Amino acid sequence: MRRISILLTYDGTDYHGWQVQPGLATIQGELQAALEKLEGSPVPVHGSGRTDAGVHALGVCAAFNLLNPMPVDNLRRALNRLLPPAIRVLSAAERPATFHPRYDAIAKTYEYRIWREEVCPPFLRRYVHHHPYPLDELAMAAAATLFAGQHDFSAFASADDSDVLGRSKVRSIFASKLWRQDELLNFRVRGSGFLKHMVRHMMGFLIEVGKGNQSPADLTILLAGPPAKAPQSAPAQGLTQISVEYPLP
């Protein structure tokens, strides 16, 4: 049995997120269907994390076990023939039998993009949040830096089935930055891991800062842990998972 990892990119617009859901199109479901055709039997796929419905990815990792002896580059080509055009396999590699794309990851990076002009180009509308209304972008940029460090992000997490296990919602954010680039307002965050809807809630908070409805002092309270809750999350289409990092071999 071979342990294979693949690097994926996808347009999440037409999918109900990563995780398999009965009767719904998902990234994991499409991968498992394609691999079953190659293997001749079901192939469970593990991902580096779960993206929400409508969220995109430039570089995420998935892994699975395979009996098929096909060379990894031929496997990449075969998967791209079987997968829908919105999902592409960038590379494939042999891994140790113990490799897990989620538990072995040491950092993940996300980026949220807001289109600030009155008219949003139609070819960008699936990949940005269109918000042409007034925002104090300098205040947003200053607040974004305050996410860096180790904090309890309970206030920035949506309810999850795993909550009953009482797992810690403390996460380490290594870098957090918001900047303007022409018509786009970009928020990029790199951390040890992320909770359900966490980045979208972080962006939602920053938008409220831009509107003057929240302040850095409010963020200090939210990062102190429960029972406070962050504002409504930002729309999914503006979010892209940029990369997942692993220890050097």
Active-site positions read 52
**Residues in contact with 74: Cβ distance below 8 Å, sequence separation at least 6, in sequence order:** none
What is the C-alpha to C-alpha distance for residues 55 and 16, in angstroms, rounded to an integer?
9
**Residues in contact with 182: Cβ distance below 8 Å, sequence separation at least 6, in sequence order:** none
Tell me the two tokens of residue 115: 């289109």
Half-sphere exposure of 20 (CA within 13 A, CB side): 12
What is the Cα 49 distance to its own chain's centre? 7
> Residue with structure tokens 């860096």?
148
Output phi, psi for 240, to 5 deg.
-135, 130
